[in-house]
Amino acid sequence: VDVFVCAMYTSGMDDRTLIGPIGQLVVPGETGLTVWEPGGLLFEGTHVVWSGHWRDRPPGMSPARAYPDRCILPGFVDPHTHVVFGGDRFQEFQMRQAGKSYAEILEAGGGIHWTVQHTREATEETLYHAARARLREMLAQGTTTVEIKTGYGLSPEEEAKLLRVIQRLREEGPQHVVPTFLGAHVVPGDMPRTAYLEQLKEMMVHIQGQARFVDVFVDRGAFTVEEAELLLSTARTLGFRLKVHMDELSHTGMAPVAARLQVVSADHLDHTPPEDLTHLARAGITAVLLPTVTLFLKGDRWPDVATMRRLGLRRALATDMNPGSSPYYSQQTVMREAVRLLGFTPEEALLGITYHAAHALDLHHHVGTLRPGFSADFLVLDRPHWGYLFYEPDRNPVQEVWIRGTLQWERRA
């Protein structure tokens, strides 16, 4: 049982709920989607105990609800976000729209340090309510599991504050929240590099048990491969699982190190060459691709999806929700952009925000599909086929959102 997902696990025979017939039930797996028409779903308390064709349903039970002309699929998993931050970067966006350069924006006080300053100035209460509102928007778009990174505090006190906010979001739900420590986002402006690296190691000792993952931003202007190796090895010794931001702005050469350290996911990969992808694929690492970042920044460099596919490298998708490079809330949008911009098939894209996204959080035994033993997190679409998510590309077909077997959001009539 995973403590980050199953905190409210209960069971009991009176607790069984049968749903069906369902016009179309979509059950993602490692290599594709299983589609049941008509389907049925049985959950006991918070967890699925059976899913399949309606004719094979367990005998002697009457269904609690029927959705004969609807599609049901698992809730979406967003495995890479930075939703806890102070302020926004609207002014910076306006400057970019007006043709100002990155250097001019930095000179005007923009960029990540602007967010760090505003996050430090914000109270815990303010940060909590702003992040909670963002999670509500994501819920209405069908996202039922969200990874959230720290990384705008960049000091022991401020990073601890962000972890407390994330912990409160996790406890109050309704989504599953997975906390990641990203103290190694950038070196803070007010501290020497070597001193901050030492401080990061101390911080990791203090936050054991408060974060599931430790992540490092490896790139030009952030951390080097050598620094990342040191930090991630320390994190692994302390019992954290590992993630890495890499090859977003340049080719870093991090891939062999990521493979050796057995990171769970390698994120961005816009500049990762085929030989480096081979390392990631062989190590069974999940790639997390973030197409809305490149789209939002009007970039022209895209990850090499054809090679990833050929190598069998598992690909998840995420919003990277953050104020500077990706103010996107919806995994539906990310999925559609992956088809349009990255050459994903619709089926690959849906796997990328469900089962494969669960892999990126090492939660693929808990969320991301609707097989027995998984959390009963599912969406009811007001359409009969999952393909409508692409056919009507700017419409949200999510009608109901269920998490842990409970209806958590319903569109108003």
Applying CB under 5 A, which residues contact Zn ion?
A: 320
Q: How are beta strands 65-74 and 47-53 bridged, if at all?
A: unpaired
Q: Which residue's CB is nearer to Zn ion, number 105 or number 288?
A: 288
What is the length of the chain? 413
Quote the strand ranges of 150-292, DSSP E: 176-184, 213-218, 241-246, 265-268, 286-289
Q: Which residue's CB is nearer to Zn ion, number 320 or number 348?
A: 320
What sign has the CA pseudo-torsion 323, 328, 329, 335? negative
Q: Which residue's CB is nearer to Zn ion, number 44 or number 320?
A: 320
Q: Which residue's CB is nearer to Zn ion, number 267 or number 362?
A: 267
**What whole-number distance in Å separates Cα of residue 326 and Cα of residue 321?**
5
Task: Tell me if residue 49 falls in helix, strand or coil.
Answer: strand
Find the shortest distance in angstroms from Cβ 81 to Zn ion.
8
Find the shortest distance in angstroms from Cβ 80 to Zn ion.
6
DSSP H helical segments within 29-142, as ranges?
Answer: 90-97, 102-107, 112-121, 124-140
Q: Which residue's CB is nearer to Zn ion, number 229 or number 320?
A: 320
Q: Which residue's CB is nearer to Zn ion, number 246 or number 389?
A: 246
Q: Which residues contact 340 (CB under 8 A, 6 or more apart)?
A: none
Q: How are beta strands 315-317 and 286-289 bridged, if at all?
A: parallel
CB atoms within 10 A of CB 65: 14
Find the shortest distance in angstroms from Cβ 182 to Zn ion.
8
Find the shortest distance in angstroms from Cβ 32 to Zn ion.
28
Taking CB atoms, the residue at the shortest distance from Zn ion is 320
Find the shortest distance in angstroms from Cβ 70 to Zn ion.
34
Find the shortest distance in angstroms from Cβ 340 to Zn ion.
21
